[in-house]
Each structure stands twice: as structure tokens, then as C-alpha cells.
Amino acid sequence: MSASTDTCMTDITQWTAALHHPAVRDRVAAAAALGKSGNPAAAVHLIHALSDPHPRVRRECIQALGRLGDSDAVPPLLAMLADSDVEMRIAGIAALGMIRDPRAIPALISCLKDSDDRARIGAAEVLGKLGNPRAIGQLEALAGDPFSGVREAAAAAIARIRKKHDHCGRSPVSR
């Protein structure tokens, strides 16, 4: 092992240990550092820390998992979409958008019915990025949403999906 590899592993070890520190700010900082580390070994520790009692720590872990982009994080992030705390749902949607795993599509489609407009907007944006035509019908259903931001995000997502599939020479399945 090179000296730089040893240092990286030591840093990861220190940050994973800090996920258990009594101070919330230290746990938040540890989660953020692990997300920025790029080390896939950090994902398992961040997934475990999703059960932290403090919402700031959980939210930072969700964001860190998104930054890492590890597909092993998809199942626990999908579980976050059902959290009673809307901030956790919104963070989960964003993290799944960074990972871009197609397993998230059905759950993201369900998020289009979330009670919070920010979650609906986030889900529409991520579905647009993922570009799966299965979402078009549910996105079209948001045309009557009471919030203009939701309607705009849904319309933009539909346009993005159609553009992607028109460009690929395939027609999107709709309705």
C-alpha cells in the first residue's frame, strides 16, 4: 500500500468513527466528509447511520450517499421516501437522482403524489433526468396540480423524456 492509500484509509476510518460521536455537528461533519471521500467503503457506514436519532445527521447521510453514487444505497434510500419527515423524503429523492438507478423509478412515480409540493417537484425533476417513458402518464396527471412549480417541473420532465426518446429514435410510451 502506498502512503497516500494509507492516509485515505485512515481518514475514512476516522470519519466512520466520528459518525458515533456524541456531538451532532461532528456526526454531520463526518457524514459530509465520507460523502466527499469518493470511497465506496464509506457507503455501508452511512447506510447504518441513517438510523441516527438526529434529523440533520440522517439528512447529511442521505446526501452523502447520493454523492457517493453507490447503487447499494438505493434500497435504504428508497425506504427514506416513506419517512414521515418531508425533509428526509426530499433528500432521498435528490440522492436517488444523483445515483440514477432505474430501480428508483416506481418509488419516484409514487412521490409525484406526495403531500408536499417540494417532494413532487423533486420527483418530477429526477424522473425527467432518468428519462423513463413509464413516468409520462403520471407526470401528465400533475397538469392540474395547485402549485405552478409542480406543473412546471412535470411539463419540463415530460419534455426532457420525450426529447431523449425522440433523439434515440424511439417513441415514448405514454398514457
User: Looking at the predicted structure, is the pLDDT value of residue 142 above 80?
Assistant: yes
Q: What is the mean pLDDT of the chain?
A: 91
Q: Angle, to 10 degrees, between the axis of helix 24-37 and the axis of helix 55-68?
A: 10
Q: What are the cell numbers at 43? A: 457507503
Q: What is the pTM of this model?
A: 0.88
Q: What is the mean pLDDT of residues 152-165?
A: 96
Q: For residue 159, what are the CA distances in angstroms to 71, 105, 133, 164?
A: 27, 17, 11, 8
6-29 pLDDT tens trace: 444 446 899 999 999 999 999 999
Q: What is the mean pLDDT of residues 95-109?
A: 97
- pLDDT for the residue 169: 55
44-85 pLDDT tens trace: 999 999 999 999 999 999 999 999 999 999 999 999 999 999
User: Looking at the predicted structure, is the pLDDT value of residue 3 above 60?
Assistant: no
Residue indicated by cell numbers 457517493:
68
- pLDDT for the residue 6: 41
- pLDDT for the residue 166: 85
Q: What is the mean pLDDT of residues 114-139?
A: 97
Q: What is the mean pLDDT of residues 123-129?
A: 98
User: Looking at the predicted structure, is the pLDDT value of residue 34 above 50?
Assistant: yes
User: Looking at the predicted structure, is the pLDDT value of residue 170 above 90?
Assistant: no
Q: Which domains does the chain have, with CATH numbers?
A: 1-99 (1.25.10.10), 104-175 (1.25.10.10)
Higher pLDDT, 22 or 5: 22
**Exposure of 28 by Cβ count < 10 A (0-12 exposed, 13-18 middle, 19+ buried)?**
buried
User: Looking at the predicted structure, is the pLDDT value of residue 1 above 50?
Assistant: no
- pLDDT for the residue 10: 43
